[in-house]
Amino acid sequence: MLSKRKFIKVSTLTAFSGIIPHNAFAKKINVFANLIKKSGFEDNTSFMTVDLRSNKLIGRYNEKLRLPIASVTKMVTACYYLANSLKPERFKTELFTDGVIKSDVLYGDLYLKGYGDPTLKTDDLSLFVEAVKKLGIKKVQGTLFYDNSYLPDINYINKNQLPQYAYNPGMGAINLNENRILFKWRRLDKATYKTSLTAPGLQNNAEVTNITMDLDNNKGPVYNYRLDENKFEERWSVNRKILGKKGSRWLPVRESSYYATAALKQLLIDRGVEIVNMKRKKVPKKVKLICTHYSQNNKIILKNALKHSKNMVTESFGLAASKTLASDLYDLDQSAILMTRWFREIIGKQNSLFLNHSGLSAGSFSTSEDFRRFLMLEKVQKSLLPVLKLIPIYTSAGKVNSIGNITVKGKSGTMHYIRGLAGYICKEDIPVMAFSIFSADLDKRKKYASNNFERPKGSASWLSRAVIQERQIIRKIIDQV
């Protein structure tokens, strides 16, 4: 077993600099330093930018300061996956059967087996339902088993987050709807509400019975949550005073494999297939494959995950990459350590640590110096540029996607009192500058983020200032192109 504590203490690697001495560029560097100080972030920002054409340092400030980088971590995960994953280019989910069919009855079992597809949706389950119907099955005498053995079952990305955050669900070998369930409510009278929890699709909706909601949470946080891992029961409670007349919100699902299989079971019942039992079990050897669902191309999924900053999807890619390095992968901590070790090896530095693959942790950290090394690598540029999104450029005339033939491609990240942006300035779609800008006020985060409010005091105004600083820095970098 790889010890996280021992791993973090690994001795520092000797690394190349790759940078032309920057004494001649002090004036340019001071432009950035003055900007950061004027923004009031002199103690809270780590910044570095380099000209990729000449390897000349263009700007730096607190480049060795370790700060959390939020969803900028997803850039690392994307490269980690593309560098280490084995083909195939798509995720798959399979349905097997055994036994015999007599008079519309399957005297045997069904087996749902997953390989970590983070994009499986309720409507996709119809493919499995149709496959069962085509066999003429109207009743399953045995059990609907699910096999989630390919990846470890993970209940949280970060257990320290408020429980109702839908971007902090569980995940594993079988996922559904990015492991979210839709909570809806409508007030019938002053004291009564009609509520529902569903796994919705465009064509099908499935209700699951292991996830419940009551409105009796009159004290403490707005939402309370309890998970019984032995019974796979997820119990929510909300204060009805915050609901209003009607509305809806996504809530995270923590037992993802059970959730997906329960939804499949309900869809089978809705389509006239009688089935009672559902359990976990590995697929035995002597079974018949009756249906396989394939995802989109993984690079398309990855690009979409970075564009929309999808935590659960990115975590799934990180787990998939780690599975190729450790066949006995047992949890997210181990997977994050493997990615940290890979990152440290390719940049030749020991200053960064990742606790997960999405960046949903204030305990993960990096430096702008480490990211400068990372972004300068040719193999990183080759992997990242096709999946990074365009970052708007802010001018006196407003927001634009380009200035002439100059564009910005990158990834941003935001948490309460944490902000990051890293990427490339491109000229005619060729990267000419690399940059990283990380800002965080961990003292304010500690002070205000533990009060059970979804938006801690002062975090919105702090973020606004950090984003304005980013935009100004980007404009200064573009001036050097």
- Two structure tokens written together for 465: 């200032």
Residue tagged 């597809």 (tokens):
117
Contact 368, 48 (CB under 8 A): yes
The H or E element containing residue 110 is: strand 110-114
What pLDDT score does 447 carry? 87
The runs of H, that is alpha helices, within 142-215 are none
167 alpha-carbon distance from chain centroid = 8
Question: Is the CATH code 3.20.20.70 the one for domain 91-295?
Answer: no
What CA–CA distances, in Å, run from 344 to 50, 348, 370, 412, 423? 20, 6, 9, 21, 19
**CA–CA dist 28, 78 (Å, integer):** 32
Q: Which two tokens stand for residue 190?
A: 């002053």
10's tokens: 């690994």
Query: Residue 419, SS3?
Result: strand
Question: What are 159's two structure tokens?
Answer: 């257990």
* Cβ neighbours, 10 Å, residue 12: 10
Write out the H or E segment, with its range, that includes residue 465.
Answer: helix 459-478
Confidence (pLDDT) at 57: 94
Give the pLDDT of residue 417.
96
Q: How far apart are CA 93 and CA 125, in angstroms?
A: 10
- H or E element that contains 48: strand 45-51
| pLDDT of 242 | 86
CA–CA separation, 240 and 215 (whole Å): 5
Sign of the C-alpha dihedral computed for residues 446, 460, 47 and 380 taken in this order: positive
10-residue mean pLDDT profile of the chain (481 residues): values are: 45 43 57 93 96 95 97 98 87 96 96 98 97 97 97 96 95 98 93 92 93 85 90 93 91 97 97 96 96 97 97 97 95 98 97 97 96 97 96 92 96 97 97 98 85 76 96 95 90
Distance CA 351, CA 444 (A): 23
CA distance 323 to 335: 8
By the 8 A CB rule, do 154 and 357 touch?
no
User: What's residue 455's pLDDT?
Assistant: 76
Which ranges in 242-365 belong to alpha helices (H)?
256-270, 298-307, 311-325, 332-347
Contact yes or no for 242/181 (Cβ under 8 A):
no
Secondary structure class of 131 (helix, strand, coil): helix
CATH of domain 4-86+298-478: 3.40.710.10
In this structure, what token pair is assigned to residue 426?
Answer: 């491109």
**DSSP-derived secondary structure letter, 427:** E
Q: What is the reported pLDDT for 164?
A: 94
Quick one: which of 13, 30, 11 has its CA closest to 22? Answer: 30
Query: What are the two backbone dihedrals, phi and then psi, of residue 326, each rounded to the nearest 5 degrees?
Result: -140, 100
**Per-residue pLDDT, 10:** 40
User: How many CB atoms are located within 10 Å of the residue 380 CB?
Assistant: 21
Place of tokens 């192109």: 481
User: How do strand 143-147 and strand 246-252 relate by DSSP bridges?
Assistant: unpaired
State which amino acid sits at residue 474: I
Q: Where are the domains of the chain?
A: 4-86+298-478, 91-295
Residues in the chain: 481
pLDDT of residue 130: 97
Helices (H), 85-134: 126-134
DSSP letter at 99 equals: S
Closest by Cα among 210, 200, 211 to 178:
200
Which 8-state DSSP code applies to residue 298? H
DSSP assignment of 361-374: -TT-BB-HHHHHHH
Nearest C-alpha neighbor of 40 from the set 472, 462, 481: 462
User: Cα(153)–Cα(255) distance, rounded to whole angstroms?
Assistant: 8
Q: Give residue for tokens 């996922």.
A: 175
Closest alpha carbon to 338 in 351, 326, 346: 326
Q: How far is CA 468 from the centre of its chain?
A: 25
* Both tokens assigned to 386: 């096709």
